[in-house]
Structure 1
Amino acid sequence: MEYMKDLAQILSVTMNDDKTVAYLQFLKKDEEFTCTPDVLLHFLRGEGVKYGIQDDIVTRFSLHPKEYYFSKTPIAIGIEPVQGKDGSIRYAVPMDDEDQHRKPAESDDGTVDFKDITRLNNVRKGQIIAELVPPVPGSPGTAITGEPIPCKEGKEARFKVGKNVVLNPEQTAMYAAIDGLVTRTDKGKLNVFPVYEINGDVDYSTGNIDFVGTVVIRGNVLTGFRVCASGDIRVNGGVEGAELIADGSIEITGGIIGYNKGLVKAAHHVKSSFIQDGNVQAGEDVIVTQSIMHSNVRAGRDVICSGTKGLIVGGNIQAGERVTARIIGNPMSTTTSIEVGVLPELRNELLELRQQTKVQMENLDKTKKALALLDQLASMGKLTPDKVAMRSKLNLTQKSNMQELEEIRERMLFIEKALEETGNARVDVLKMIYGGSRIVIGRYTKYIKDPVSRMSFYYSEGDISMSAYV
């Protein structure tokens, strides 16, 4: 045992950072070194190594110390923690169409083919749409000192239930309640919308259309007619001075000639080959492959006109974040206004949500007071059967109000964050911007007097800055 006191002068025990491996090594070569496995074990425990000791290595080290003179030997191995994995939603149908950043397939000459509708997520009643993948639990580790090493647990995924879908009793799978098209709306809810196809023009033979699903039009939409859809609108022909309003996206193969009448408005994207004398609004992006001429265009996020022609001339273009075009304006100095960092719809929605919050808080307060009164009667044993039913109903109302309030608050936080992020606002000119053009970013305006090529405009330090477009 006397010799054991000297082991600390001959042997060193070190640990890695997370204390899952302990290493034993000689501090100096000692030809006289001998010790038993028990003595070595006792020494290791004295050095704080209490778990995962490799008994076979301890025995070998004691019997043949010379083999270990010049090496660092793992003498104890703990257990690494296994981190939990978050649950997710596994889609049984492809959801690529709803990818916000998906670009249209573009050929060499810059044209886009929107004719193919086989990409629609058509489902039959009772067909599974999505199922929850449960989180994978983590398992804690053990350090070689014997202490537990904590792990992170995976979070449960949650469905956002929209229209015409049902959940199984376990709330782990979602099914279509009708035949139709699976669509994910702007708040992430999954819906099934039926598809309505028109094999020709929207004209006097069809009349105006107001449909709860997606509308596919194989011809043109003529001046003065109206098409409303809770899903998407796809037009294989052109749109004249008509009104198209969709809760999803609008795709127009033949372009828009608006005659300064009508409106094309989508909650998500508007995609068209060109826009002339038109009024277009999109909650997210307006994507045009050829040109935007003398039109009023407003996008919650980006206006992209970067095809072969990629021309914006005249009119007023507003985008929440970015405008990208090959050419802005023309050599005749036609007045062309480009505004970025503009999100009027979101500001209006925020005001509405604040009002809704106030109403919900008042309702919640009334419900709580009524429940408190009923609870008091219950404690006195004076609760009649109709009061029992009322208390049950009020409890459900309170739960529903609190859930709605939570959803409103989440949306308000999202909007407030979006309104703060004006740093993304910019105008990218891929080829040329001409005099007569006006760039507005937030509260700042820059008038273009002379043609400028390949330039980016953005807000920096209280003014609009410009640098070469890369």
Structure 2
Amino acid sequence: MSSPVSFRVSERDVYIMIDAGTSPSDVKAEALQKAWQASEFSAAKLLDPQMLTQTATKYAQHFSKDSNKSIHFQVIIAEIFDADLKLQVSDDDMKVTASGIVGYGGKALTQEMIISALREKDITSGIQRKGIEALVEHTNEAPPGAEMSVTVAKGKHPINGSNARFKPLVDDARKRVLRPQLREDGTADMRDLGAQVTVDPGQPLLQKIPLSKGRPGFTVFGQELEAMDGEDRDFAPGEGTKISDDDPNIIIADRTGLPSFNGNSVQVDDVMQLNNVDVSTGHVKFKGSVIVTGNVSEGMKVTCTGDITVGGYVDSAELYADGNITVQKGCIGRLLNASETGEHDEDADDWIPEVSTKLVAGGSVWCAYAQYSFFDAKNGVHTNKQLTHCHVVTKGPLAIGGEGKAARGKLIGGTIETSDHIYCGQLGAPAGTKTRIYWSLPPHDPQAVSHLNHLRSSLAKLIARAKTLQQGLERCKSLEDEAKRVQYQQKLHGELKKIKSRITTTRISIDSVLEAFETHPTLRTMVSREVFPGILFIFKEKSLRIKEHRNGTMFLLEDKQLRVDSLL
């Protein structure tokens, strides 16, 4: 027996039809719902969730009139909708997001439909096939009305080339001198700093890695995004070196000596060796490195362009080196003019000792111990036992008796000026000896400053170019030949769009570098054993005074604030 209920479609509308004379009891809401679910149009969208109930009621009203009992009943109950596709292009033209909504009984999306929609918007580059396939599968498999968003096209950002760089092929002798060697038990022997690095003529020292070209990118519209090539840097052979005849990207040694590196340059220093420096030798001034197996006596000066290594003591003498200074034993000095002026006050907050022993290094300083000595070392000061009443100026770390929690040396009295970490086992003395630590912020990375200057120069050129293009567009308006005017305007508009995109990217890069300049790494003074009263930390106008005895403690300069923390 056939059902008295059937359905038909006219354009997008779905009609329900009930045979004439059918009793309302045979077409109640439940029966209509069952027939609807069994029909081929059940995926269409009902005009109302209660549409079938409303239809049963309407039919009963229709049937109640005798004149209607012989008339077929039909009414629109649903609509058919095809799957919907929307495309959204990002502001920078680098990504296209497609949103697909599953249709109601209509056609699902196909790959051809999506690609055609992209082409209508001139989106031709970076098409993401997997995203398109996922969207097609969604509109075929998901329930009606379900929405899904995927990336269907993606541009490629330009990749700037790398600058030419330089790779050392041997150890830097200056750094090697100050590298403590490990004992068999794994601990560092602060007295054994390793053998000095020497090279022979013809030995490769420094390799130039050439610049790389930039790789251009593109937008989803196929517009090419220009990439900058890396910057070239010249090779600069220093004294005692030359460019290899076999490879123009290699610098080799031209004599025997100690190699030292400075960015794109390397030099090999000759070495002067003396037993002692005293009145019998006079002051020493040497273009190279100096090794003194014995002592440097009172009143003597040693000046060199390389490293200074002293096997004995430095007693009220002055050492000046462009590289590192190593004193295997101790540095002993005294206060100058103390008995004559009587003006020095070692307990004053701003007291800086004027002392007779001075070590000034362009690299690092290492010694066994020191008292009443002045150290000015760019890359840090390392002492094996203790510093007493010394004045230290450095941009590098100050390590006394080791680094980190392993430090066991003593820092007592004097004034420390640094922009890096300090490590010691004991800070101050039971007598409350005033010890001052002046912290300053680390200097900006020279490469970052150079990069910022390059970005600013590039931005100025881009802005000038944009201004020239704008002026060209204004001049185009006066052209009488319409075809040429339109041609020139299109060309200038296209180039101006590229320039504006590069201006935006460059400004973002500049803001990123400037934001990095506003931050600074956390500076620490790590005291592994004891801290005594009389310690004063100073950063600009801020100060932190320690008035009580403490066990192992961490002092920090964090976010430009001085604070105390436990040593975990």
- Per the normalisation by structure 1, the TM-score is 0.62
Counterpart check, 1:117 vs 2:169 = no
The question of whether the paired residues in 2 share the 8 Å contact of 1:78 and 1:141 is answered with no
User: Aligned equivalents of 1:337 and 1:216: distance in 2?
Assistant: 33
Deviations 1:3-49 (CA, angstroms, capped at 9, x unpaired)? 9xxx9943536578665677696733758779996x88655533554
The 5 A counterparts of 1:56-455 are: 69-70=140-141, 80-81=156-157, 83-94=159-170, 104-105=180-181, 111-118=189-196, 120=197, 122=199, 124=201, 127=204, 129-143=206-220, 146-148=221-223, 150=225, 152-159=227-234, 161=236, 163-164=238-239, 174=251, 176=253, 178-185=255-262, 188=263, 190-198=265-273, 200-203=275-278, 208-258=283-333, 261-307=356-402, 308-333=407-432, 335-341=433-439, 427-443=525-541, 447-455=545-553
The question of whether the paired residues in 1 share the 8 Å contact of 2:218 and 2:225 is answered with yes
Deviations 1:74-125 (CA, angstroms, capped at 9, x unpaired)? 997666345133123232423566679x97456566531444234x263536
Shift in CA distance, 423/189, structure 1 to aligned 2, threshold 3 Å: same
Shift of 1:212: 1.0
User: Aligned equivalents of 1:168 and 1:74: distance in 2?
Assistant: 56
Which residue does the alignment assign to 2:120?
Answer: 46
Shift in CA distance, 103/180, structure 1 to aligned 2, threshold 3 Å: closer
The question of whether the paired residues in 1 share the 8 Å contact of 2:242 and 2:254 is answered with yes
Shift in CA distance, 271/200, structure 1 to aligned 2, threshold 3 Å: same
Shift in CA distance, 322/20, structure 1 to aligned 2, threshold 3 Å: closer
Deviations 1:201-258 (CA, angstroms, capped at 9, x unpaired)? 4456755432211223444434444322201122344433332210111122333234
Which residue does the alignment assign to 2:349?
Answer: none
Secondary structure at the counterpart of residue 244 of structure 1: strand
Q: Which range moved further: 319-328 or 421-430?
A: 421-430
The question of whether the paired residues in 2 share the 8 Å contact of 1:254 and 1:272 is answered with yes
The question of whether the paired residues in 2 share the 8 Å contact of 1:122 and 1:181 is answered with yes
The question of whether the paired residues in 2 share the 8 Å contact of 1:110 and 1:289 is answered with no
Shift of 1:428: 3.8
Deviations 1:400-440 (CA, angstroms, capped at 9, x unpaired)? xxxxxxxxxxxxxxxxxxx9999966644332221344444
Secondary structure at the counterpart of residue 255 of structure 1: strand
User: Aligned equivalents of 2:519 and 2:303: distance in 1?
Assistant: 32
Shift of 1:462: 10
Which residue does the alignment assign to 1:361?
Answer: none
Shift in CA distance, 339/210, structure 1 to aligned 2, threshold 3 Å: same
State percent identity of aligned pairs: 18
User: Aligned equivalents of 2:555 and 2:395: distance in 1?
Assistant: 19
Larger Cα-atom Rg? 2
Shift in CA distance, 106/468, structure 1 to aligned 2, threshold 3 Å: farther
Deviations 1:162-194 (CA, angstroms, capped at 9, x unpaired)? 742556999966555654333235xx4634142
The question of whether the paired residues in 2 share the 8 Å contact of 1:51 and 1:78 is answered with yes
Shift in CA distance, 70/305, structure 1 to aligned 2, threshold 3 Å: same
Shift in CA distance, 327/70, structure 1 to aligned 2, threshold 3 Å: same
Shift of 1:140: 2.0
- Per the normalisation by structure 2, the TM-score is 0.53
User: Aligned equivalents of 1:447 and 1:75: distance in 2?
Assistant: 59
Shift of 1:301: 3.8
Show structure 2 runs of 5+ residues with no match.
1-10, 12-79, 143-147, 336-355, 444-516
The question of whether the paired residues in 1 share the 8 Å contact of 2:81 and 2:105 is answered with no
Shift in CA distance, 288/46, structure 1 to aligned 2, threshold 3 Å: same
Letter in 1 for 2:324: S
Shift in CA distance, 106/437, structure 1 to aligned 2, threshold 3 Å: farther
The question of whether the paired residues in 2 share the 8 Å contact of 1:265 and 1:281 is answered with yes
Letter in 2 for 1:141: F
Shift in CA distance, 79/424, structure 1 to aligned 2, threshold 3 Å: closer
Secondary structure at the counterpart of residue 212 of structure 2: coil
Which residue does the alignment assign to 2:353?
Answer: none
Match of 1:27 among 102, 110, 130: 102
Shift in CA distance, 316/22, structure 1 to aligned 2, threshold 3 Å: closer
Deviations 1:281-308 (CA, angstroms, capped at 9, x unpaired)? 2123111132112333332443222535
User: Aligned equivalents of 1:80 and 1:195: distance in 2?
Assistant: 53
| Larger RCO: 1 or 2 (CA < 8 Å, sep 6+) | 1
Shift in CA distance, 221/141, structure 1 to aligned 2, threshold 3 Å: same
User: Aligned equivalents of 2:398 and 2:114: distance in 1?
Assistant: 73
User: Aligned equivalents of 2:111 and 2:379: distance in 1?
Assistant: 75
User: Aligned equivalents of 1:52 and 1:292: distance in 2?
Assistant: 64
Shift in CA distance, 125/244, structure 1 to aligned 2, threshold 3 Å: farther
User: Aligned equivalents of 1:25 and 1:199: distance in 2?
Assistant: 84
Q: How many residues align?
A: 379
